[in-house]
Amino acid sequence: MIKAILFDLDETLVDRSGMMRLFLAEQYQHFEELHRYDKKSFIDSCLVFQRNGYADKYDAYSATLAELGSKHSSLALRLFDNLREQYGKKPLLFEGVEEVLKILNVKYKLGLVSNGRTDVQHAKIRNSGIKKYFSAICISESIGSKKPDPEIFLSCLGGLSVNADEAVFVGDNPVADIQPALALGMEAVWVENQNFPESCHACKRIRHLRELLSIVESLNQTKS
């Protein structure tokens, strides 16, 4: 019987790409040195060099400025410091996220497993208003383990007091989210993401989080 549902955060619940695009637009307005460059070019280049959030942010700023031809040697560091201070304060949820969490929270224990800095990820969770739905929140910096290491998944399962075969994991990254969840014996639901075009044969797939509701009920009927 399914007792718990565990979620990834970025690109599963939080629209990281959209959120970062808005943040970079604010940085462009704030830093006058950037005004000599095209705004769209700055934003698009940053997003490319960030590699969907997996690249070092300072390196991404440095590469962007080099591509734009910037001669401000300290600008990348100031942009990076600004990101560390401000990013996460204005999270952007995908459509329907809170609606789905509210429904699921009535019947299931909910957990969250995310890689990233503790302060940034907790700011997203807190400021988006979804913290109240989770009984266990495991951030890699705090746990000392990051996905796909099974330890961070096990830590969340322990926090929810459920076994792996009683849980479903929902995430967008086939390698960091889906494969380790399946290996531990969890059911897995892949939120399709254009950044990961490879197929995920052993899991359910969804494009919108609302589809999760019927999938979880179906899984529960199969296990009952």
What integer is the mean pLDDT of 48-54? 90
Strand partners, 188: 169
Where along the chain do its domains lie? 4-15+91-223, 16-86
Model pTM above 0.75: yes
List the one residue out of 136, 127, 129 whose CA is nearest residue 108: 136
Between 70-84, 93-107, 174-188, the lowest mean confidence (pLDDT) is in: 70-84
CB atoms within 10 A of CB 156: 25
pLDDT band at 53 (very low <50, low <70, confident <90, very high): confident
Percentage above 70 pLDDT, the chain = 96
pLDDT at res. 193: 83
For 24-28, 56-60, 68-72, 130-134, which range has the lowest pLDDT when averaged over its residues? 68-72
Helices 57-68 and 75-86: angle between axes, nearest 10 degrees: 140
pLDDT in tens, 1-49: 999 999 999 999 999 999 999 999 999 999 999 999 999 999 999 999 9
Q: Which two tokens stand for residue 210?
A: 């609302």
Distance CA 133, CA 122 (A): 13
Q: Which two tokens stand for residue 1?
A: 């019987």
**CATH homologous superfamily for the domain 4-15+91-223:** HAD superfamily/HAD-like (3.40.50.1000)
Q: What is the average pLDDT across 85-95?
A: 94
Q: How confident is the model at residue 161 (pLDDT cuts 50, 70, 90)?
A: very high
The alpha carbon of 190 is separated from its chain's Cα centroid by a whole number of angstroms, namely: 13
By the 8 A CB rule, do 189 and 157 touch? no
Answer whether 219's CB lies under 8 Å from 2's CB: yes
